[in-house]
Amino acid sequence: MAQRRRGTPIVIAHRGASGYLPEHTLAAYATAVFQGADFIEPDLVMTRDGQLIARHDNRLDATTDVARRPEFAHRRATREVDGQRLTGWFSEDFTLAEIRSLRAVERLPQLRPGNARFDGQFPVPVLEEILALRHALEGVVGRPIGVYPETKHPTHFRERGLPMEERLVQILHAHGLEDSQRVYLQSFEVTGLQRLRRLTRIPLIQLLAATGQPHDVAATGGTLTYAQMATSAGLHQIARYADGVGPDKSLLIPRDASGRLDSGRATAFVADAHRAGLAVHPYTFRAENGFLPANHRLGDDPAALGDLAGELAAFLALGIDGFFTDQPGLGAQIRDIARDP
Ligand code: G3P
Ligand code: CA
């Protein structure tokens, strides 16, 4: 099987090919691989019976039909999640069997009406199914396919007797997944990654938001911010437990006051991270005008595709090691052209 070329930025299918299909469905992951993704990205949350399922967050309302299911009406609840008071249906209140009766729906139906045509078609996948799909697809496409799970709300789940990291590592090891050709683990929280470091040699990625603090730091009264973590000193601290960072892309090139992207505003982030020995995988590259910098939009329709190539080329030129994208086919083409014009 062909190995991935060393030094080639990896294309990480953000929630699958989520520009084309409802996010976090097996169909979205498979489409991503056929489009050319190197990695598929499941965000993971837990069920009441301790299973790891793929959803962006533990509130199920925006990406499943749970709100339209009368048998679950009584499960609607209000609770604090990562410091925010939320009302809705939460994964930790459902068994896997109950989750399996739900169907995925498109999160952004206004922006992605084509995706919404698939509403009601696909179940919510459990991690083991995603790993089986990964293995099968690798055999079909004849190149390494990786999985890049993110632990969502790990402190929230641990406080409810649902520890994520131990279960996640147990499953990945049982599937023989340990090296960076085929797996990375990521989280916005710090203590969960440090716990993972003690459990496994799987490469770890510290996610960095543009603002704020990791939830686990805030919850214990800590003062460390993402801005501090993104400095040279902060990155050296991260390198003590992680192998790379997944920064909000604005930490690499902040847009100007009118929302334009200008490479001249690039920060030292990539060089600083590389000096600390960390890989850099920024998020999230999306092709619709509504997400693009003002000078890379093509027309006024926020749902129409704009100049993703122009935006992504500016980041590839900084020497990033990979990137998260909702349109992995476009991402792979742009990456390949940048490498071999
Ligand atoms: O994990 C990288 C990126 O996906 C982080 O943002 O909110 O889409 O999980 P989110
Ligand atoms: Ca994610």
The residue extents of the domains of the chain are: 10-58+125-339
Interatomic CA distance for residues 38 and 207, integer angstroms: 19
- In this structure, the strands spanning 84-88 and 146-147 are unpaired
Q: If you search the block for the tokens 């147990």, which residue do you land on?
A: 170
Return the structure tokens found at 318: 């900084």
Ligand 1 atom closest to the CA of 281, numbered from 1? 2
Report the nearest-CA residue for atom 7 of ligand 1: 56
Q: Which of 245, 154, 235 is nearest to 203 (CA)?
A: 245
Interatomic CA distance for residues 131 and 274, integer angstroms: 30
Return the structure tokens found at 132: 């089986």
Interatomic CA distance for residues 12 and 254, integer angstroms: 22
Interatomic CA distance for residues 43 and 24, integer angstroms: 8
For ligand 1, which residues put their CB under 6 angstroms from it? Answer: 14, 43, 56, 150, 186, 207, 246, 283-284, 324
Contact 63, 99 (CB under 8 A): no
CATH superfamily, domain 10-58+125-339, is: Phosphatidylinositol (PI) phosphodiesterase (3.20.20.190)
Q: If you search the block for the tokens 């995603």, which residue do you land on?
A: 130
Return the structure tokens found at 340: 């071999």
Whether this prediction's pTM lies above 0.85 is answered by yes
Told to judge if 56 belongs to the known catalytic residues of this protein, a careful annotator would answer yes
Interatomic CA distance for residues 74 and 248, integer angstroms: 37
Omega before residue 284 within 30° of 0, cis: yes
How remote is the C-alpha of 287 from its chain's centroid? Answer: 16
Interatomic CA distance for residues 293 and 17, integer angstroms: 21
Q: How far is the CA of 42 from the centre of ligand 1 (A)?
A: 10
Interatomic CA distance for residues 266 and 254, integer angstroms: 7
Interatomic CA distance for residues 18 and 106, integer angstroms: 9
Q: Classify residue 47 by its DSSP letter.
A: -
- Number of C-alpha atoms within 13 angstroms, CB side, residue 223? 0
Q: What is the maximal distance between C-alpha atoms in the chain?
A: 57
Phi, psi for residue 337 in degrees, rounded to 5: -70, -40
| pLDDT tens sequence for the chain (341 residues) | 777 777 899 999 999 999 999 999 999 999 999 999 999 999 999 999 999 999 999 999 999 999 999 999 999 999 999 999 999 999 999 999 999 999 999 999 999 999 999 999 999 999 999 999 999 999 999 999 999 999 999 999 999 999 999 999 999 999 999 988 899 999 999 999 999 999 999 999 999 999 999 999 999 999 999 999 999 999 999 999 999 999 999 999 999 999 999 999 999 999 999 999 999 999 999 999 999 999 999 999 999 999 999 999 999 999 999 999 999 999 999 999 998 87
Which of these is catalytic: 56, 153, 215, 296? 56
Report the nearest-CA residue for atom 5 of ligand 1: 283
Told to judge if 215 belongs to the known catalytic residues of this protein, a careful annotator would answer no
Q: How far is the CA of 83 from the centre of ligand 2 (A)?
A: 19
Contact 63, 108 (CB under 8 A): no
Return the structure tokens found at 226: 């993402």
